[in-house]
Amino acid sequence: MRRSSEDTKALILAAARERFAADGYERATIRAIAADAAIDPSMVMRYFGSKEKLFAAAADVDLRLPDLAGLPRETVGTALISHFLDRWEDDEGMMILLRTGVTNEAVAERMRGIFADQLGPLVAGLHDDPAQVPLRSGLAAAQVLGMALCRYVLRLPPVAAMSREEIVHWLGPTLQRYLVG
Amino acid sequence: MRRSSEDTKALILAAARERFAADGYERATIRAIAADAAIDPSMVMRYFGSKEKLFAAAADVDLRLPDLAGLPRETVGTALISHFLDRWEDDEGMMILLRTGVTNEAVAERMRGIFADQLGPLVAGLHDDPAQVPLRSGLAAAQVLGMALCRYVLRLPPVAAMSREEIVHWLGPTLQRYLVG
DNA sequence: ATTGTAGGCCAACAACTGTTGACTTCGCCG
DNA sequence: CGGCGAAGTCAACAGTTGTTGGCCTACAAT
């Protein structure tokens, strides 16, 4: 029995996401991705056109932010950090963005867009004064991304060893203050 | 007049630091570094042996942490964030470490060492209970690195636009709580 | 003036990269 | 059965990379 076109495409995409997440853009070669998917490198080109387009498909990420405005005012900090921990632990896309955005201007631009379009509106729902929004969402982004960087990417031992509850306990109040304090 | 051996070596090292800081390890090619220094690529090999050794020389970073134990207890948070902002703004080494440590395991290991050997002892000076130290220095690292990431590497507009005083004002109390609160 | 040496340059290497085009093989439809 | 399109393979391309060795050239000591 032969594979369908969509099946192989999905196979390649899965392998690509893994490689990009683990190695970043440059070190994740098309040959390595193809080998992981057990197919020929030329199939990658056939289905995705180029390495850049394959990456674009692999790095298509949605933060899936919940609607914090519906929550009790004093719980938005812990809600946000909980959500981000969930997201980081089950979506390779987060790792891809961070690993590659640091050395690739196009991806950095994409991250700026994601934070402006997704985190910004969410924070806007918490304030009457729109002038506060950029500052507060920027502060929140710095805290959340710093945690992800230390825990999932650099794996600083004390940070990687922290329990989920510890992180929520310490970062929750910080984010609370940044967001609405 | 001909250049001295040490002069060229310093010239190469300066160009290398700039390139590694701007482009990361993979994209910073020996040829590009040599061109910046206006010398032949083979000279880089002559003076540094290999690209890896050149990088090791370029990424030799010291956080130069001040002695927080000598300060009034309630000012350690603002003192730490002020110091890190200074450091980030006048030492390309910080950028090199962050840009490359994210995709290079050896550099990540180096960063783990730096934070264990430099930030750890500093925090230890603030506590009687040594068991608290890893948690607290990990939290501080996450906050500080997250700010650096958003401001200097990703350049998220709201974070990049913040004034130095705003950052100290907002992150100071957070670090204070993480360190001794 | 000769020579030794250290600084510098050139050309080439082998390996690896993304990418391409021609070729083969499978399986469905008429 | 025959052929046609889709799925897959193979080999090669052109460019770039780190790295090497041989060669040239200025300068200081003899």
Pick the more confident residue, B45 or A4.
Answer: B45
The per-residue pLDDT for A2 is 75
Question: What Å value separates CA A112 and C1' C8?
Answer: 45
User: Using the CB atom, is residue B42 less than 7 Å from strand C?
Assistant: yes
Give the pLDDT score at B101: 97
Q: Which two tokens stand for residue B6?
A: 């040490």
For an interface test with A, give the residue of B139, B165, B178, B180 to mutate (most A CBs within 10 A).
B139
Which pLDDT tens digit goes with each residue over A74-117? 999 999 999 999 999 999 999 999 999 999 999 999 999 999 99
- Which of A 5-64 lie inside 8 A of B, CB atoms? 23-24, 26-27
pLDDT for the residue numbered A1: 64
pTM score of the predicted model? 0.95
Measured CA distances, B100 to A106, A126, B50 (Å):
17, 37, 17
Q: Model confidence over B33-63: pLDDT tens digits?
A: 999 999 999 999 999 999 999 999 999 999 9
Report in angstroms the alpha-carbon separations of A173 from A79, A179, B158.
10, 10, 21
pLDDT at B4 over 90: no
* Nearest nucleotide relative to B3: CA against C1': C7
pLDDT in tens, B130-175: 999 999 999 999 999 999 999 999 999 999 999 999 999 999 999 9
* Residue A142 to residue B146, Cβ atoms within 8 A: yes
- How does pLDDT run across B108-134, given as a tens digit for each residue? 999 999 999 999 999 999 999 999 999
* pLDDT tens, position by position, B71-111: 999 999 999 999 999 999 999 999 999 999 999 999 999 99
Closest CA to B140 of A159, A137, A172: A159
| Average of per-residue pLDDT values in chain B | 96
Residue B11: exposure state from Cβ atoms within 10 A (0-12, 13-18, ≥19) = middle
Output the distance from B16 CA to D27 C1' rounded to whole Å. 29
Average pLDDT, chain A: 96
If you measure CA to C1', which residue is closest to nucleotide C11?
B42
Task: Judge whether residue A103 contacts strand C, using its CB and a 7 Å cut-off.
Answer: no
Q: Are B112 and A155 a contacting pair at CB < 8 A?
A: yes
The whole-angstrom distance between residue B63's C-alpha and the CA centroid of its chain comes to 7
Whether A152 has a pLDDT exceeding 70, the answer reads yes
Contact B155, B99 (CB under 8 A): no
- Is pLDDT of B1 > 70? no
**B5: confidence class by pLDDT, cuts 50, 70, 90:** confident
Which structural domains are found in chain A, ordered by start?
Answer: 5-58 (1.10.10.60), 68-180 (1.10.357)
Q: What is the pLDDT of residues A11-41, one digit of tens each?
A: 999 999 999 999 999 999 999 999 999 999 9
Tokens of A12: 């390649």
Asked whether residue B22 carries a pLDDT value surpassing 80, the answer given is yes
Give the pLDDT score at A163.
98
Task: Report, in ranges, which bases of strand C sit under 7 Å from a protein C-beta.
Answer: 6-11, 16-22, 26-27
B82-115: buried (b, 16+ CB within 10 Å) or exposed (e) per residue?
A: bbbbebbeebbbbbbbbbbbbbbeebbebbbebb
